[in-house]
Structure 1
Amino acid sequence: MHETVIRGGTIVDGTGKAAYTGDVALDGGKIAQVGGKAGPGKREIDAAGLLVTPGWVDVHTHYDGQATWDSELAPSSWHGVTTILFGNCGVGFAPVRNEDHSALIGMMESIEEIPGITLADGLKWNWETFPQYLDALDQMPRAIDIAAQIPHHPLRVYVMGERAINREAATADDITAMRDAVRAGLQAGAFGFTTSRTNSHKTPSGDMVPGRYSEVEELLGIGSAFKGLNYGAFGVNSDFDNEAEELKWMTKLGQDTGRPVWFLLTDRPTDLVRWRRLMDGVHKARSEGAMVTAQIAGRPVGVMLGIDTALNPFSIRPSYQALLKLPVAERIRRMQDPVLRAQILSEAPSQALLNRLSQFRQHIVTRWNRMFPMGNPPNYEPEEKDSIAAMAARSNHTPDEVAYDYLAGGAERFLFFPIVGYNEDNLDVIHSMLTDDATILGLSDGGAHCSSIVDASVPSWMLIHWARDRSRGPKLPLELMVKRQTSETADFFGFHDRGRLAVGKKADVNVIDYEALRLHIPEVRYDLPMNGRRLVQRVDGYRNTFVSGLSTFENGVYTGATPGRLVRASGR
């Protein structure tokens, strides 16, 4: 008798193979049977008319801190994610010396918008080196599995101290020390190393992060830690100041180490064909023997603009700034005062506040044609006719008046502002990326941007939008959308025991009512440590999620089970 039998479901096994009907049996944390008719089970789930898929493997999250205190790891765990990988974008909390704790918290708060008060309260700092950080993570059971990468910025500060913060060039001894630390981290189970070379990442003081201008010699030197290993990937978030030179060193690194090198790729409002040039570079690198890959987003990376979020079009105007100290309900009541409304609308944005925003968020003062009232369920491929600019054109009001009055209607109202991934008024560019085999799906940023972005729901949305509901362009096969976030992500990073419904693989399984799969409008909660604020997004349609054969979620409700563990990379 099997422990669990999921009977008669539509099996989408994660390989891209066409869906078929059959049973899936789970025993001892492993998959015992896929397809056909299984014998009886101690627990049987009638999956007739339901999808049965592997659990999602989300490789771009920022739960580096939350994973040290939270066993549920929501909202990613709500969306069928059974494995998360963090340590992305070069930020994290190890290695670290005692005197640098506050600096790393400040950097994570500034770059990834995780409340500093939450991190200061939640982090226990019972580690110094990266292997010790993994050991600390290993002590706590969770709803889902976790895994980590080594972040460049803490490593650079750990080795170079104040010189790293001042962005001085690394010496040969510095590079050797960083390489050795990365090697030790990889041998302890890290799944890779990440860095960032972008103006979007700044410290709380507005300075660039420690690794922003690291010399190529430093990056290649650190990357040499991968030589001789048959696991681990090197990740980059870059502005590609010199596209040819960036692609050149990534190609060399891939050739020298034989390991994958990946970078984040989106389209940009300031250069509409940049993504094509970079994809051409990826294919060229591959033709030269380097496994260079572009990590892409499945939907536009968009900021939520509201009264109780980090940013809205009026939050950088002086009179509105005075409202930020008020409770949300009082703030809304004051906004509806005609005198104050007129005052705020008459003001120009504060240039000093505007300069503190990342390069693309600065568009909130001009791009009214890229702001869309978010409905329920939310629409992530809206038409320009539904934008604030179009609404204003159909009325006797200016765009900022329309936006102001909409937001003043309540804290549950949001404007969706796609920053990247929406420069052609549709998702055709993302469609092209998703159908290119030199890309990998990522960029959910689960656990990060707590007050402005909530893309932890992307795994659910990939099925809802691309495979089922898209109306403004071609859809994509359901089997491909499952494969892109199961076997593909698992294989790329070396999670060899998961990502497929196959006998002997880890019993991480989703049972989904595909027709009922539906995202809710995001909501603001103050449920992080020290009442830290975050956006979350619920979903309907997940009947069951299993991790290592144990039921963790049933009809969207956490069962309290904690089969999740730290996964350590290895060559197996």
Structure 2
Amino acid sequence: MRGRRASPTADLVDEGGAPDQKAVVGVMAREFDLVIRGGTVVDGTGAEQVDADVAVLGDRIVEVGTVTGGGREEIDAAGAIVTPGFVDVHTHYDGQVTWENRLSPSSNHGVTTVVMGNCGVGFAPARAAERPMMISLMEGVEDIPEVVMAEGLPWNWESFPDYLEALAAREADIDFAAQLPHSPLRVYVMGKRGAELEPPTTGDLAEMRRLTAQAIRAGAVGVSTSRTYAHRFTDGRPAPSIHTEDEEVLALADGLRDAGAGVFQMVPNTRLPVAEQYALLHAIARRSGRPVSFTFMQHEEQPGGWREMLGHLDQARAEGLAIRGQVLPRPTGALLGLELSLHPFALNPSYAPLAGLPLAEKVAALREPQTRRRLLAETPAHPHAFFTHIVSDLERMFVLGDPPNYNPAASDSIAARARAAGRSPAEEIYEALLARDGHEILYRPLGNLVGARFEGSGRDLLGHDLTVLALGDGGAHYSTICDAAYPTYLLTYWMRDATDGRGVTLAHAVRLLTFEPARAMGFADRGRIAAGMRADLNVLDLERLHLHAPRAVYDLRAGGRRLVQRADGYVATVKSGAVTYREGVHTGALPGRLLRGAQSAPA
């Protein structure tokens, strides 16, 4: 894994290409704040790896090569790789960042910058009377317990610029940037009419456009919306943005054009033909003149639609439009279990009296023969159609296992196992949920599959230059999804453990995690290792890199539950020059701050 050693004066040349001797002498004599010594640098650009030291002064990288000066702190990276900090452009830390200083689980997996406010949901703008509605929407869409938000959110804002000011006062273990979400904006402008899905007036559209431009000028990095039927309040009502007319969405695009900055993020209505989904993305890109990104995966309803969409994206590029799909490097899916929000019997009528019991009591009740008979005889009943969809398909449920298997074969399903044993899938799933005293986690894949496998669509989606790795969803889906661990997954399943030609190279994997998502958001000061860039870095022992199975913990406000997923092999993570994690343990450093808008490249 070793390459050529970079020249210690590679970035210190005069206009004619000769080393600037005064600059060299100045650097050689300098004491650095941090030196990462003896590692293999994978710089994020996709270039060949090199053996080099990395020196940091303040929050910037100042030298890459043979560093002769000492550092006040040094990390021995011999045998390890050194990468830029990872960037996840699709998270939901909008609430968590206001009550916690650690943006985990993302920060546990080498991520040093996140973008939140995706999917058109969030907490600003919001007047006092609208706050309960925003909490209810986030509970239904993003699986954040209502009590956690009610206790944790300080609500020291109303407008979106107010919200950014509140965020600017926060400290965290990683940097965070915010987008303006469509649903709160609609309700803020239209009041009850917006929540009840009434069409906007001309004045409403003009105000949404004005407030979008205002938010971008105040430091929002973009605006987001959602059209997916899955995004609903807990009582089944659709999110305010879902059924809006295209002209309303385009009013937000106009706001980006007025501000001359920002990106547009969207979750499309995947029940529409692909051509119709693309038509709106195309209109947004043309109207705004700004980059557009969207949640992109292979869906159950249109298993071959992803190929058609890739063709449209190529066409958009030929027209000079910037439209990229956000992709996850593994199948999308839900995690189910007795400790979690959902499982195949959670929505059955007879389960309601058991739902709030401590786990041990719940398991004891479920082992009673009469309870078992009742639950097996019932079917799910809930106003949230997407929830019932997740738990009803008994053919595609798997025991996740430890280490977790996100790419099981169809023959590994619980239903297949049941038929082999002469039992019904429901009976086998019932017993599986009781395994490990009720701690067992089941896996229900939802997309990015060919048959029951990921590799067909996944390899092509990962390899296409008009996609961007994202969708960690950190800060949301606390008890149904734990996808924020995808950087570790990419570096193990797709890179280190790749077989049968399915893998990606180390240089390409690091580029997907760093340079590409940073570029997609206009963060030109990070995502690669070079002099002048922000000192966001990871030191990784690839041989020890290991992803553990997710598990439930109860460490949110009011004893709220969330899934966490540990990883081994992260020797150190550095954010803005400060070591934030050593061997996965937080050092206490909180150098992360709010990013306002695009970040300029270093001079």
How many pairs are equivalent?
567
Is the CA contact 1:23–1:38 (under 8 Å) kept in the aligned structure 2? Answer: no
Maintained 8 Å contact 2:236/2:385: no
The equivalences for 1:84-103 within 5 A come to 84-103=114-133
Question: What TM-score comes out, normalization by structure 1 length?
Answer: 0.96
Residue 576 of structure 2, aligned match among 540, 548, 555: 548
TM-score by length of 2: 0.91
Q: Which residue of 1 aligns with 2:354?
A: 323
Alignment of 1:210-359 (within 5 A): 210-227=240-257, 229=259, 231-240=261-270, 241-345=272-376, 347-350=377-380, 352-353=381-382, 355-358=383-386
Structure 1 window deviating more from structure 2 (413-422 vs 254-263): it is: 254-263
Structure 2 Cα separation of the partners of residues 267 and 13 of structure 1? 31
Per the alignment, do residues 384 and 463 of structure 1 end up closer, same or farther by CA in structure 2, a change over 3 Å counting?
same
1:435 is aligned to 463
**1:458-492 deviation per Cα after TM superposition (whole angstroms, max 9, x unaligned):** 11111111101234651111111111121111111
Structure 1: where are the runs of 5+ without partners? none
Match of 1:498 in 2: 526
- CA distance in 1 between counterparts of 2:391 and 2:68 reads 56
Amino acid aligned to 1:385: S
Would you say the 8 A contact 1:229–1:571 is kept in 2?
no
Judged with a 3 Å threshold, the aligned counterparts in structure 2 of structure 1 residues 229 and 481 are, in CA distance, closer, same or farther, namely farther
Partner of 1:512: 540
Residue 532 of structure 1, CA deviation: 1.1
SS at match of 1:444: coil
Aligned partner of 2:208 in structure 1 is: 178
User: Which residue number in structure 1 is paired with residue 79 of structure 2?
Assistant: 49
For 1:304 and 1:446, the matched residues in 2 are separated by 15
1:413 corresponds, among 440, 444, 463, to: 440
Please report how far the alpha carbon of residue 229 of structure 1 lies from its aligned counterpart in structure 2 after TM superposition. Answer: 4.9
SS in 1 for 2:295: strand
Deviations 1:244-288 (A, max 9, x none): 344223223323332111111111122211111222222222222
**CA–CA distance in structure 2, aligned partners of residues 471 and 357 of structure 1:** 39
| Shift in Å, 1:560 | 0.8
* Separation (CA, whole Å) in 2 of partners of 1:103 and 1:343: 35
| Letter paired with 2:438 | A
Alpha-carbon spacing, 1:195–1:396, altered in 2? closer, same or farther (3 Å): same
- Please state how far the C-alpha of 1:420 moved relative to its aligned partner: 1.2
Give the C-alpha shift of residue 336 in structure 1.
2.1
Within 5 Å, which residues of 2 pair with 1:94-243? 94-227=124-257, 229=259, 231-240=261-270, 241-243=272-274
Q: Does 1:449 align with 2:449?
A: no
State the one-letter code of the partner of 1:522. Answer: P
* CA shift in 2, pair 1:131/1:363, >3 Å: closer
Indicate if the aligned counterparts of 1:56 and 1:485 stay in contact, CA closer than 8 A: yes
Residue 298 and residue 45 in structure 1: after superposition, are their counterparts in 2 closer, same or farther (change >3 A)?
same
The alignment's C-alpha RMSD in Å is: 1.6
Greater CA drift, 518-527 or 402-411: 402-411
What is the distance in 2 between the residues matched to 1:383 and 1:472?
Answer: 16
Task: Say whether residues 1:424 and 2:451 are aligned partners.
Answer: yes
Q: Tell me the distance in 2 between the aligned counterparts of 1:87 and 1:228.
A: 20
Alpha-carbon distance between aligned partners in 2 of 1:49 and 1:237, rounded to the nearest angstrom: 41
Which residue matches 1:391? 417
Residue type matched to 1:182 in 2? Answer: T
The alignment partner of 2:251 has SS state of helix
Say which of 535, 538, 546 aligns to 2:563: 535
Q: Name the CA shift for 1:174/1:292 in 2 (closer, same or farther; >3 Å).
A: same
Question: Residues of 2 paired with 1:509 and 1:213: CA distance?
Answer: 42
Q: Does the 8 Å CA contact 1:426/1:472 hold for their aligned counterparts?
A: no
Q: 1:400 aligns with which of 426, 430, 454?
A: 426
CA deviation after TM superposition for structure 1 residue 230, in Å: 5.2
CA distance in 2 between counterparts of 1:131 and 1:3 reads 35
Within 2, Cα distance between the matches of 1:192 and 1:178? 14
CA distance in 1, matches of 2:219, 2:311: 33
Do the aligned partners of 2:339 and 2:359 also contact (CA within 8 Å) in 1?
yes
User: Is contact 1:509-1:547 (8 Å) kept?
Assistant: yes
Give the C-alpha shift of residue 415 in structure 1.
0.9
1:158 positional shift: 0.3
Q: How far did residue 311 of structure 1 move?
A: 0.9
Q: Secondary structure at the match of 2:62?
A: strand
Separation (CA, whole Å) in 1 of partners of 2:404 and 2:45: 30
1:387 corresponds to which letter in structure 2? Answer: S
1:322-379 Cα deviation digits (max 9, x unpaired): 321321111112222234323322x1313x32x52417x61532342x2111211111
The separation in 2 between residues aligned to 1:23 and 1:33, in whole angstroms, is 8
Q: Deviations over 1:383-440 (max 9, x none)?
A: 2222112211321322222211121122321111111122432222111001111111
Question: For 1:246 and 1:325, how far apart are their aligned partners in 2?
Answer: 41
* CA–CA distance in structure 1, aligned partners of residues 276 and 338 of structure 2: 43
The residue number in structure 1 matching 2:550 is: 522
Structure-2 residue corresponding to 1:481: 509
Structure 2: which 5+ residue stretches go unaligned? 1-30
Counterpart check, 1:458 vs 2:489: no
Secondary structure at the counterpart of residue 46 of structure 2: coil
Give the equivalent residue in structure 2 for 1:362: 389
Q: Secondary structure at the match of 1:516?
A: coil
Q: Distance in 2 between matches of 1:422 and 1:59?
A: 23
| Cα deviation digits, residues 24-49 of structure 1 (max 9, x gap) | 11111100112334422222211111
